[in-house]
Amino acid sequence: MIPRRCWLFLSVLLAVLMVGAPLSVGRGEPIYAGTSPHLGYGIMVAFPPGHLGLVTDMGFDWYKYFLYWYKIQPTETGGYDWTWLDWRLQETADSGLNLILRVEGPPSWARAWDHYWAPVRHDKMTAWREFFRATAEYIAAWQESHGTSFRVALEVWNEPNLSFQWGDQPVDPAWYTEMVRYAYEGAKAGDPNIIVVAGGLAPTGGTSDGMAMDDVKYLEAMYDAGLAGHFDVISTHNYGFGGPPEDKDWGYGILNFRRAEDIYQVMVAHGDGDKPVWATEFGWLLDSDERGVECDPEWEAWGFAWQQVSAQQQADYLVRAFQYADANWDWMGVMVVSNLDFNTTGWYATCDPLNWFSILETDGSPRPAYTALQGMTKRYRSWEAWGMDVRPPSLAWMMPLTDTRRVTRAVSVLNTGMHPFTWTVTTSTQGLPFSVSPLSGTADGSFQVVMDARGLTTGTYTGRITVTASATEVQESPFVVPLTLHVVPRVYNVSLPIVVKGLSGP
């Protein structure tokens, strides 16, 4: 049977598909639309030595673990023992991942009272600051000596708006802010490029006895206590609490994934809208009944029973959470799924919720959520401290001599690093009539280029736009965008044949 051949004709504009459209965006890249990639793909890990390969197999680029002060400095005068940290750094370097370390566990000599979660004593804050300085300095020196460049973030404490994290004492935002300020000062003295994360706030409406405080109000109180200028990132633990990630009304408008939006609005109100939020814990609780385990009585007592979802919902909601944040929250950075493997360690009671937030089964095999996250489309970003990109990197037009339109094109200045910056624009032309507005802005902003070919004779006209970042650390600055205009007598329409092969018929 001989395949049919169909001949189709369509009109094609010679040289460009649309008169006045750019000829190319340069570098073979697709035309840029929307904000630059901004998410980090992270997960909390219980056992890094055996399981970081599972993180890289998912296509994730961050993991979260823990740094215990009492392990590094058990005595006040005995110096630091970096053995434990060495293991974590080597594992991270071998995996190719970036690392969040949640810093907690003051040694007994620095605790305000005899409890693991007791805060640092006020008179030991200088030791706390020195510990952060020494830690940041040690990490930077270790990376230099080992030729590695993965990013490290230090997260100060955990869920400080809940009494559990205060040794079952009332919460104190001013005290916690003091800890953050000393930690930030120390870390930046040790390595200015290390990332300091404050918050780890748990969504809650609070209680009247002071044992839990509304996370939004807690952040406001932290600003009142002098938080500004003492953090790189604010973190939240915006678990889904059983609801879909897109539902802002779930859980009385508080206990839902989108609670992160309320945290960010506090930052905006205090002039920190250019700093990111990280979701350093989030997830959905798997219904234990699906695995033949009865946990409802315990979960009812603990307040977890209403949060249960099916294995398929857990998988679906986690993927949709990343997708929602990518599409709607350009201020969101690293998102850390809770968790990978707590279910595999045997350290926790059968009905401990940590086991049921896990995306691995007890035997280490993947739950549906692991497979779904592994297959999820990801838009990776750079985690360098400073970086800038300009899209499109070049502009070119072809216009017929008779065209009387003005053509407008948007150019985006993207922040591909961690730190915010502003930019300015200057122009140079060899007869190309164009204008630019505005002439300055902030990273992830844009400017408009208006090209006016009216009155020009046939020929080629050129110009350039130079984008300069305010921060000298931005290595891509200045960035030159070349402009080219071809004015031609006319643009011809031609008909080209298209042969469609493989169609069969009688």
Q: What are phi and psi of 400, to 5 degrees?
A: -70, 155
pTM: 0.81
Quick one: pLDDT band at residue 432, thresholds 50, 70, 90? Answer: confident
Contacts of residue 251, Cβ cutoff 8 Å, sequence gap at least 6: 203, 241, 242, 243
Task: Please tell me whether residues 371 and 390 are part of one structural domain.
Answer: no
Task: Please tell me whether residues 76 and 170 are part of one structural domain.
Answer: yes
Q: How many Å apart are CA 70 and CA 159, to the nearest integer?
A: 19
Task: Please tell me whether residues 120 and 150 are part of one structural domain.
Answer: yes
How far from each other are the two terminal CA atoms of the chain, in whole angstroms?
Answer: 7
pLDDT tens readout for residues 197-251: 999 999 999 999 999 999 999 999 999 999 999 999 999 999 999 999 999 999 9
If you search the block for the tokens 């940041």, which residue do you land on? Answer: 136
Quick one: pLDDT band at residue 404, thresholds 50, 70, 90? Answer: low
Alpha carbon dihedral 160, 161, 165, 166, in 10-degree steps, equals 100
Task: Please tell me whether residues 226 and 185 are part of one structural domain.
Answer: yes
Instruction: Report the number of distinct structural domains present in the chain.
Output: 2
User: Is the peptide bond prior to 328 cis by the omega test (within 30 degrees of 0)?
Assistant: no
Quick one: pLDDT band at residue 443, thresholds 50, 70, 90? Answer: confident
- Give the pLDDT mean for 45-74: 97
Quick one: pLDDT band at residue 481, thresholds 50, 70, 90? Answer: very high
Task: Please tell me whether residues 27 and 52 are part of one structural domain.
Answer: no
**Pairwise pLDDT comparison (379 vs 497), residue with the higher score:** 379
CB atoms within 10 A of CB 25: 16
Q: How many Å apart are CA 355 and CA 361, to the nearest integer?
A: 9
CA-nearest of 414, 338, 500, 301 to 34 is 414
CA-nearest of 334, 420, 336 to 151 is 334
Q: Which domain holds residue 411?
A: 22-32+386-493
Task: Please tell me whether residues 471 and 392 are part of one structural domain.
Answer: yes
Strand partners for 292: none
Task: Please tell me whether residues 459 and 323 are part of one structural domain.
Answer: no
Residue 13 has pLDDT above 50, yes or no: no
Task: Please tell me whether residues 247 and 275 are part of one structural domain.
Answer: yes
Task: Please tell me whether residues 296 and 441 are part of one structural domain.
Answer: no
Task: Please tell me whether residues 259 and 308 are part of one structural domain.
Answer: yes
Residue 405 has pLDDT above 80, yes or no: no
Buried b / exposed e over 441-479, threshold 16 CB at 10 Å, is eebbeebebebbbeebeeeebebbbebebebeebeebeb
Q: What is the domain-level CATH number for residue 121? A: 3.20.20.80
User: Side chain identity at 251, as an amino acid letter?
Assistant: G
Task: Please tell me whether residues 202 and 323 are part of one structural domain.
Answer: yes
pLDDT for residue 30? 30
In the chain, pLDDT over 70 holds for what percent of residues?
90
- C-beta of residue 465 within 8 angstroms of C-beta of residue 480: yes
